[in-house]
Amino acid sequence: RFGIARRFPIGPVLAITPFNFPLNLVLHKVAPAIAVGNTVVLKPAPQTPLTSRLLAEVMAEAGLPAGALNVVHCDVALAEKLVRDERVAMVTFTGSAKVGWHIKNIAGKKKVALELGGNGAVIVAPDADVAFAAARCVRGGVVYGGQYCIGVQRIYVHRDVYERFEQELLARLRACRTGNPLEEGVDVGPVINEEAAKRIESWIQEAVAGGARVLAGGKRHGAVIEPTVLTNTRPDMKVECEEIFGPVMTLTRVDDLDEAVRLAAASRYGLQGGFFTNDLRRAFRALEEWDVGGLMINDVPIYRIDNMPFGGWKDSGFGREGTRYAMESMTDIKFLVVNYG
């Protein structure tokens, strides 16, 4: 007997996307689905509706058959109807954990892929390049206004290098300019709207009321949150245990790296993490205890290229994006056996 395994398209894919990367995160779903022969119903975020319309126009001009990509702007009630529709073979969603798990609950028998964000942790070991680690943490914590599911939120620094790291981090953070991101030299722009900024501000204030201390930033100006570092935080504070989705980081001193890994891993999220160390043996061991979809050694969690397997553990969802991995999830196997004996 001779066997052949072939992958076939599964059928219409419903893609529900967030506002923070209105082209890239859309393409992470649309491109693999189209590549393997599925059609797509795309529901973009209501805050960023135009990019998806322009993408559909470009793809139509390039020769994509009519009906292969359908952009639907709709309210929550209609979106839920789409999720439940038996004609949809798969739902792929990027967004909040609350919405994602609700989608899974109502999706029925269809395939579901969820990318639900996180509260990215970074560990800095005594042998790390402290200045480089601080520079990358600032970049990872404030880029795109902190509206990044793999942004730096929690930093655990070994006591031997804590003081030096804190000085480097704060100096670089205070040098960041806030304002209109279209202006030259501005590092941190507004979050998506003032309502989101007020929520972030309230989480900072709640942490301070609970004993946390502001080392830098902490204030809101309209929809702009100053790049912020908090210390003396606790794991049960929202700034640590939830996804803040803003330019806010917590800084914690640890006595040893085993403690740092335990603290980093003690989260209901598990998307990506960062570990600054030159001890590869320790780095490999960390991945055994730290349940994250990706661990970046000598870098921060924001590192991502489009062909990497990308997705999380625990409340960060399940399934993987990244071109070939998404293509596999959007197909299924038929196995052919030929008896030639």
Residues known to be catalytic: 115, 149
Q: How far is CA 92 from the centre of its chain?
A: 14
Strand (E) positions, the chain? 2-9, 13-16, 40-43, 69-71, 90-94, 111-115, 121-124, 154-158, 213-216, 220-221, 224-225, 228-231, 248-254, 269-270, 272-276, 294-297, 313-314, 317-318, 331-338
DSSP SS3 for 76:
helix
Q: DSSP assignment of 108-173, as one string?
A: TTSEEEEE-----EEEE-TTS-HHHHHHHHHHHHHGGGG--TT---EEEEETTTHHHHHHHHHHHH
Report how far apart the first and last C-alpha atoms of the chain are (Å, whole number): 7
Kindly state the DSSP code that residue 62 receives in the 8-state scheme.
T
- 98 CB neighbour count, 10 Å cutoff: 10
- Distance between CA atoms of 172 and 148, rounded to whole angstroms? 20
Q: Which of 179, 57, 132, 98 is nearest to 299 (CA)?
A: 132
One-letter amino acid of 5: A
